[in-house]
């Protein structure tokens, strides 16, 4: 079975450029989460969707970040313009069991490692 | 910070020994989950324990939960070199905003020496 698929796995870009990270969740999962991992701040929840609808984006660091989920099989996280402090590993995860008041097991992708020079 | 705190930050043991990691958190939870992350890889779910459960087992893993102390522990018995990884606890709770969230702790780096 295919797991959560993220692309690109690695991205190196220059400050000011637009970055788009992509995620394909596991088929049948009703929720999707974007996390960011850095040494300094650990794993941070950026935004999550339930049935393609954004539920909480309070973790998105600033207006330069945006996320969309146009359908049940695809989500994007966009950073425009990118800055060196955005360098991190960005993880997408999906879950079959999110119910608004209960979060079950998350299935993570392998991550997208972003380096902004 | 909403994050749980894990203790120790790093742990080095010999193959065959048991490894115990602890997690403390600050708020009432629905459940607590443990994940493993191998270097350069995504996180893998290990076990979920609900707030009304006190202990749960899965293979060589044993998880306990003490909601009165807001703490949990993960025990890996008879460790193997392949258990070398970072281990994270995550708490599902209401942290403000629209709904519940799953927030991860700071992690414990486990090294199992062959």
Helix (H), strand (E), coil (C) string for A51-112: CCEEEECCCCCCCCEEEEEEECCEEEEEECCCCHHHCEEEEEEEECCCCCCCCCCCEECCCE
pLDDT at B71: 96
* Nearest-by-Cβ selection for A45 from B42, B96, B101: B101
Return the residue in A92, A103, A104, A113 with the most chain B beta carbons within 10 A, the one to mutate for interface testing: A103
Q: Do A103 and B102 touch (CB under 8 A)?
A: yes
* Nearest-by-Cβ selection for B48 from A93, A100, A105: A105
Q: Do B43 and A104 touch (CB under 8 A)?
A: no
Helix (H), strand (E), coil (C) string for chain B: CCCCEEECCEEEEECCCCEEEEEECCCCCCEEEEEEECCCCCEEEEEEEECCCCEEEECCEEEEEECCCCEEEEEECCCCHHHCEEEEEEEEECCCCCCCEEEECCCEEEEEEC
What distance in Å separates residue A80's CA from the closest CA in chain B? 25
- The secondary structure of residue A117, as a DSSP letter, is -
Through-space distance between the first and last CA atoms of chain A, rounded to whole angstroms: 36
**pLDDT mean over A87-114:** 90
User: Do A80 and A68 touch, CB atoms closer than 8 A?
Assistant: no
For residue range B72-112, list pLDDT tens digits in order. 999 999 999 999 999 999 999 887 766 788 999 999 999 99
Q: Does B20 touch chain A (CB under 8 A)?
A: no
For residue range A53-95, list pLDDT tens digits in order. 998 898 998 899 999 999 999 999 999 999 999 999 999 999 9
H/E element holding A6?
A: strand A5-7
Residues 40-79 (B) with a CB less than 8 A from some CB of A:
41-45, 48
Of B41, B81, B43, B83, residue with least CA distance to B59: B83
């Amino acid at each position: 079975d295919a797991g959560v698929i993220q692309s690109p796995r690695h991205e190196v870009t220059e400050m000011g450029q637009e970055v788009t990270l992509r995620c394909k969740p596991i088929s049948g999962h009703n929720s999707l989460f974007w996390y960011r991992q850095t040494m300094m701040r650990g794993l941070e929840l950026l935004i999550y969707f339930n049935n393609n609808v954004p539920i909480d984006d309070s973790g998105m660091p600033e207006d330069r970040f945006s996320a969309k989920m146009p359908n049940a099989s695809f989500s994007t996280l966009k950073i425009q313009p990118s800055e060196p402090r955005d360098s991190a590993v960005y993880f997408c995860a999906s879950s079959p069991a999110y119910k608004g008041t209960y979060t079950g097991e998350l299935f993570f992708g392998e991550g997208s490692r972003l380096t902004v020079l | 910070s909403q994050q749980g705190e894990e203790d120790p930050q790093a742990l080095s043991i010999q193959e065959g020994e048991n490894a115990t990691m602890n997690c403390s958190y600050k708020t009432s939870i629905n459940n607590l989950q443990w994940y493993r992350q191998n270097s350069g890889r995504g996180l893998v779910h290990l076990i979920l324990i609900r707030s009304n459960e006190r202990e749960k087992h899965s293979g060589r893993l044993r998880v306990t939960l003490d909601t009165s102390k807001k703490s949990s522990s993960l025990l890996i018995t008879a460790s193997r070199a392949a258990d070398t990884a970072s281990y994270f606890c995550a708490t599902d709770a209401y942290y403000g905003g629209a709904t519940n969230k799953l927030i991860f702790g700071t992690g414990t780096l486990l090294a199992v020496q062959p």
